[in-house]
A and B are shown apart, each in its own frame.
Chain A
Amino acid sequence: MTLDWIWDNAARIGELTAWHAALSVIPTVLGLLLAVPLGWWASRSARIYPLVIGGSGLLYTIPSIALFVLLPQVLGTKILDPLNVVVALTVYSIALLVRVIADGLASVPHDTVQAATAMGYRPWQRLWHVELPVAVPAIGGGLRVAVVSNVSIVTMAALLGIPQLGSLFTQGFSLRLTVPIVAGIVMCLVLSVVLDVLVHAVTRALTPWQQKAETA
């Protein structure tokens, strides 16, 4: 049990990390795209809001293993198809992000929305040109939670044999080696931090109009 194992397997760890990143990021992006219309719908009516938010919240309570096993039957995919993981994590991302979008849109100042309506913005123009841009800080915050949560859930896919950093856990377990497990955990942490910082940086870049803390 030495660090040699890491050097010997560096290429494979890199490959697994790349897979892991892809399996975390793609579902987050897809989840965001699907959560926007759902969140918008929820934010438009006090009656629909609890239904949509409650319903999407329920999705998050489905155990991930169950979803991984169930999806091939629903989608007609092979059990080893990474698509299963992408779909499952997209479902979780939607569950997290619908609420973020709905609350983010609700946080847009009422005056701003009213002004846009009175100026003659159509509802979708108002959403695209005013509400979504103004909600970016709130949405960015939720996106960080979603992407980090995905990094963690992806590891479960190791139980199905889909390659990503979780594979190091199963390997370490079967070989009774601690180093692969620790290496997997460290890489997961690094990936989480990198993605978190990335989302944060993009959010900041998109919102030069936000009052900076030092001038407040």
Chain B
Amino acid sequence: MIRLSASEMAAKLANGETTSVELTQAHLDRIADVDTDVHAFLFVDTEGALAQAAAVDAKRAAGAKLAPLAGVPLALKDVMTQKGVPTTAGSKILEGWRPPYDSTVVTHLKNNDIVILGKTNMDEFAMGSSTENSAYGPTHNPWDLTRIPGGSSGGSSAALAAFEAPLAIGTDTGGSIRQPAAVTGTVGVKPTYGGVSRFGLIAFSSSLDQAGPCARSVLDAALLHEAIAGHDPKDSTSINAPVPQVVAAANSGDVKGMKIGVVKELNGDGYQSGVRTRFEESLELLAAAGAEIVEVSAPNFEYALAAYYLIAPSECSSNLARFDAMRYGLRVGDVDGASAESVMNLTREVGFGREVKRRIILGTYALSSGYYDAYYGSAQKVRTLITQDFNKAFEKCDVMVSPTCPTTAFKIGEKSNDPIAMYLNDIATIPVNMAGIGGMSLPSGLAPEDGLPVGFQIMAPAMADQRMYLVGAALEAALLTKWGAPLLSQAPVLAGK
């Protein structure tokens, strides 16, 4: 049962073949069985999940009209607040904190009767591409437990690939939904910036952060997308416009006559050969499905990574100032006569990990007087140039595509001492965040040389998210015909206990 898609589970719940309690228990059993090896979860809310499941079953028994995903379990990235449930953002500074409020995403999940199984592991404050920066230890990729599951939403992607949950929530600041999806053979969508409320999303880089759906199929991602999206008065940057019709698009998958723009700059040197093979094959399948493949150029994308590593640290140095040991979270060194400043200094020394400190210091420097124009100011100008590149390219095509990442999953520990090598993982995903548009990654097969999953990225203009789902559904259907079964059926069986 746990290997079904979320929409198949929802159908079985609707026709009475199973109950949410049974389905939830099956996933809790799976977590108990394999999560010692995978470590996708930081907290499993057994009691809360079963209570929520029982409540949905009661509603269904009483004949209430329920939402499409009602009763289906989900794994929640630990960066989203959930009332009364431990929320750490992967950091020691929030260890033991139980938020007194729900994020808007959680409110939507609860209103849709989606059962929240627990909180998933992540790079501390979402800073990283491997989940190795979690203060609570790394998550392991179910395809190969010695490899990274991507990051920062690595717990969410691993939970999906290990069949610990059929749905998950991730957040994406520079690729943190799409890159984990790519390296675990799952689907991840970063909606248009402002499409999903950020209220209750612990902020890393406010002008880039975006929550989105993670799933094992394009349709499941679309169903979750519509459940969590929409305007929120509690987030002044949320878009006050109708949610794009992504479920209809995922059900259609009609790409006849659509123009698909291949980004010239996001391919070639630096991309693993198997990544390129799978990308070329996907293009052929889309062409066979009736799409027109064109080449587009985005000459300023090569500066996106540099601009990102100025903008994101700058915003984080400001956002993380709130962890001051005064109102919640860790407090260290509060001895008689200690000043507030010394308590802050000591708490932040102990509470933050190395990557977080690195980015706070870098951001403090980039925003400091005398360097502001040269660094932060220049990065903001690059952001304009990247947006202009997208606008020009979208005059020639409906969506843009590229490989999601330059390589397949690397080994745990392989890049942890080389920040620049680590940052290069995000080279193809960052431009989307800089422009605030939508991006999706879906599996395009395995790289022949290492047998590991490869992701295909689709980018669509702001508030045209449905186009990603059209193309994603078309490619998924073509690949499914070719493979005969979903890609994850080729993943090794986890030994469990």
A binds B: no
Contact surface of B with A, Cβ cutoff 8 Å: none
Contact surface of A with B, Cβ cutoff 8 Å: none
